[in-house]
């Protein structure tokens, strides 16, 4: 490897070496969503995006185990999902050892810009975060509803998000919408982290069962695709232990480098919105508007919401 294939990049107090910065990770000329052609992006572009978005992305990553979606040869090459931290990662990379069936696994934890830059150098395109923290891995402080449409009909996603947000509001739980950069949308509910993971998952299941019962022609909780028809799937599977969800402001492994972007409820009302509205070219501009500024800093306890949900389910039964 020649010297010009390694570029030192300053990130906070550290300097990180970027190998082959000109390597194309996102080839151009593909479908970039919305009928337009996808733009080409290199590893250097991903590094610069990670540096620019760090003030907005890092608060969603700190203290959480990560699963890394890597494409060493770019989007057209093989993909692999990395849980365990490789031995060759530098000592200053934060790690967290958590329990898994039959043993433990040591995840990367990202708390600074230098780690973000190193992950970009490793061709990590998408960061998948735990919904709990390393200090209490079995007590999530986030609940995520994944609204998965049967096709590219984002109008159905917007409609379903409105219904879900309204129900969560009736239960006393604030929620924050986020485009996934793929097809659907996530609703993120901040919790206080006191409830065990099985309680959170059971609550999410009962919540979506009630939603599907209220809108049976439009929504479903059927896991088998053959049973869904043209209905939107309310997916709660990300709320299980050791499951992950794409982090806010992370890039998705799709042509054009779309980004999973937090949005406001007012933006959700825009009929022109779709899941791949933002890319690494403009996601930071959206981040600067602080679309989740109205979400309480402290998460809510699940207990009162569970009692309200049970009362609604009893009344509808």
Domain boundaries, the chain: 3-134
Helices (H), the chain: 43-57, 113-121, 154-170, 197-214, 265-268, 283-288, 302-316
Is 122 in contact with 50 (CB distance < 8 Å)? no
pLDDT on residue 37? 75
Measured between alpha carbons, how far is 287 from 280 in angstroms, rounded to an integer?
A: 11
Looking up tokens 């929620």 gives 175
Provide the token pair at 172.
């006393």
pLDDT on residue 275? 97
Distances (CA, A) of 118 to 6, 73, 113, 163, 270: 13, 16, 9, 40, 36
Provide the token pair at 219.
């929504």
Provide the token pair at 277.
């509205």
Measured between alpha carbons, how far is 176 from 295 in angstroms, rounded to an integer?
A: 7
pLDDT on residue 1? 44
- Report angle CA 145, 127, 242 to the nearest 5 degrees: 60
Rounded to 5 degrees, φ, ψ at 313 are -65, -40
pLDDT on residue 315? 80
Rounded to 5 degrees, φ, ψ at 96 are -140, 125
- Report angle CA 155, 166, 252 to the nearest 5 degrees: 50
pLDDT on residue 3? 42
Q: What is the CATH number of domain 3-134?
A: 3.90.920.10
For 213, which DSSP code?
Answer: H
Per-residue pLDDT of the chain (317 residues; tens, 9 = 90+): 444 599 999 999 999 999 999 999 999 876 655 556 789 999 999 999 999 999 999 999 999 999 999 999 999 999 999 999 999 999 999 999 999 999 999 999 999 999 999 999 999 999 999 999 999 999 999 999 999 999 999 999 999 999 999 999 999 999 999 999 999 999 999 999 999 999 999 999 999 999 999 999 999 999 999 999 999 999 999 999 999 999 999 999 999 999 999 999 999 999 999 999 999 999 999 999 999 999 998 999 999 999 999 999 988 65
pLDDT on residue 30? 62
């Amino acid at each position: 490897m020649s010297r010009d294939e390694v570029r030192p990049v300053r990130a906070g107090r550290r300097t990180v070496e970027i190998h082959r910065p000109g390597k194309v990770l996102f080839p151009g000329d593909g479908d970039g969503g919305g009928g337009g052609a996808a733009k080409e992006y290199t590893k250097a572009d991903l590094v610069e995006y990670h540096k620019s978005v760090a003030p907005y992305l890092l608060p969603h990553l700190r203290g959480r185990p990560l699963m890394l979606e890597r494409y060493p040869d770019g989007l057209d090459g093989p993909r692999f999902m990395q849980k365990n931290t490789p031995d060759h990662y530098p000592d200053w990379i934060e790690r967290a050892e958590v329990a898994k069936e039959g043993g433990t696994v040591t995840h990367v934890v990202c708390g600074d810009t230098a780690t973000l830059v190193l992950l970009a150098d490793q061709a990590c395109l998408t960061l998948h975060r735990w919904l709990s923290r390393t200090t209490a891995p079995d007590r999530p402080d986030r609940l995520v509803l994944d609204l998965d449409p049967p096709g590219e009909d984002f109008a159905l996603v917007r409609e379903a998000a409105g219904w879900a947000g309204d129900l969560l509001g009736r239960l006393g739980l604030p929620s924050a919408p986020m485009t996934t950069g793929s097809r659907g949308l996530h609703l993120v509910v901040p919790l206080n982290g006191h409830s065990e993971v099985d309680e959170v998952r059971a609550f999410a299941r009962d919540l979506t069962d009630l939603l599907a019962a209220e809108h049976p022609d439009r929504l479903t909780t059927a896991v088998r695709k053959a049973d869904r028809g043209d209905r939107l799937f309310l997916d709660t599977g990300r709320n299980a232990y050791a499951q992950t969800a794409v982090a806010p402001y992370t890039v998705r492994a799709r042509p054009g480098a779309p980004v999973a972007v937090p949005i406001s409820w007012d933006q959700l009302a825009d009929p022109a919105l779709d899941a791949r509205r933002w890319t690494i070219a403009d996601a930071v501009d959206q981040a600067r508007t602080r679309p989740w500024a109205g979400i309480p800093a402290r998460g809510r306890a699940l207990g009162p919401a569970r009692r309200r949900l049970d009362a609604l389910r009893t009344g509808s039964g």
